[in-house]
Homo-oligomer: A and B are copies of this chain.
Amino acid sequence: MGLTETESTPETLAAFYRTLQEHDLQPLWQIADQLLTQSPQPATKPWMWRWTLLLALAERAGKLIDIHEGGDRRVLSLANPGLGGQPFATSTLWGAVQYLNAGEHAPAHRHTPGAIRFILRGDGVYTTVNGDGCDMHPGDLVLTPSWSWHDHNSSADDPVVWFDGLDIPTVQALDAVFFENYPDERPQDVVQEHNRSERLYGGRGLLPLSAGAVTHRHSPLLVYRRADIDAALTGLLEQCGGPMASMEFVDPTSGRPVMPTMGCEMHRLVAERRTRPFRKVGSSVVVVYSGAGSSVINGRLFDWNSGDILAIPSWAIVEHEATEPTDLFAITDTPVLKALGLYREEIHQTPQHITEVFS
C-alpha cells in the first residue's frame, strides 16, 4: 500500500487540503458521508398552509396589488421553511395560489416550466392555451404545458382563485428556464370555439383516427372536468374498495402522465379509515379539494380542512385519515423519478407514532 506514513503529519495534511481548495478541488473522503447518505435527507419539511389564511391574503393582494406588476400574475407562492427562503413548496415543486379579480386579464407569455391550474373557487374565467380557450370551473384541472402561450381572462362578477402547480425547481436545477412575453403586447390569437382539446381528445377510449400514433411531449387534452373526475373515483372505489382510491390524470394518446416533469393525481378517502403508512421517492404538494381529516407525515400530525395545502418531502412516511368523505388533489415529481430510474416506494404495516402536532 503506497501510503508513506512519514509524510502524513497534521501539517502536511492541512497544507494539502489548502492546496486542493485553492485549485477548486475537494477531497471526497471528507464529504462522502454527507453526500452519499443511506437514504434521502430532504431539506424540504413536511408543512401545511391553511386555506383560511391563503384566501384572506390572496384577497388582500387582490386589493393591494395591480395585476400588471412584475410577472403579470397575482400569485402567492408557498415557501417551504426548510428550503432557506426559496419560493418553492418542495425541493422539486412550486405550489401557489393565484387570484384573479372580476374582469381582469393576465396577459400571455410562455416559459419552459410547465404549469397546471386546479380551480378552487369561482367561475367565469378561461385560460387560453396556444389559442384554445379553456373554461375553468371549481374542481377542474387545466394544463398550460411547457413553452405553450397562456393567458387568464375573467368575465366573472367575482374573483376566482386557483392552485398553481409548476416544476420550476426542477427546470431551474437543470438550467433550462426560458421565458418569453407574447409578441407586441398583443392579445393572444384565440380561435372562436372554446375547449377545442376537449372535443378532440376528451373521448372515453376514443381518439381521432390515427391520433394515437402521434407522440406528444405532454397531453394534448388540456382540461379535465370535475364531473369526470368524480365519476372515475366513484367507479374505482366501487371496484377496489377503500380506504383510498387513487387516479392519475393522463395523456389520453399515451396513458402517460400529463407532463414529463410533473404528475397530477386525485385521491378519494373513505371516512374513518386510515391508509397504510406509505412512502416513495419524490415529493408532492397536496390540495384538500373537499372534506376534512388529518395526515401523519414523518410522525407529525396535520389536521386539515377543505382548501388546505400540504407539502410532503421525498421518502417521508405518510398516512391519511378522513373524518368525512374527502377528495385530495396532488402534484408530484413521480414522472421525473420514474424516467430516470430512481423511483421506489414502500408500504409499511405499523402506523407511525405521532411525535408532534402541526399548528
Contact pick for A36, options B179, B202, B217, CB 8 Å: B179
Taking a contact as CB atoms under 8 Å apart, the answer to whether B8 and A200 are in contact is: no
Contact pick for A200, options B23, B44, B236, CB 8 Å: B236
Taking a contact as CB atoms under 8 Å apart, the answer to whether A265 and B209 are in contact is: yes
Binary interface encoding of chain A residues 74-111 relative to chain B, with 1 for a CB under 8 A from any of its CBs, else 0: 11111111000001000110001000011110000001
Taking a contact as CB atoms under 8 Å apart, the answer to whether B71 and A33 are in contact is: yes
User: Which residues between 211 and 235 of chain A lie within 8 Å of chain B, taking CB atoms?
Assistant: 211-213, 217-219, 221, 224-225, 228-229, 231-232, 235
Taking a contact as CB atoms under 8 Å apart, the answer to whether B49 and A23 are in contact is: yes
Contact pick for A340, options B28, B235, B260, CB 8 Å: B260
Contact pick for A176, options B40, B80, B339, CB 8 Å: B40
Contact pick for A76, options B26, B91, B180, B232, CB 8 Å: B26
A178 to B218, CA, bound (A): 30
Query: Which residues of A line the B interface, CB within 8 A?
Result: 1-4, 7-8, 12-13, 16, 19-20, 23-33, 35-42, 44, 47, 49, 53-54, 57, 60-67, 69-71, 73-81, 87, 91-92, 96, 101-104, 111-113, 146, 159, 168-180, 193, 196, 198-213, 217-219, 221, 224-225, 228-229, 231-232, 235-236, 238-240, 246-257, 259-261, 265-266, 281-283, 313-315, 333, 336-342, 344
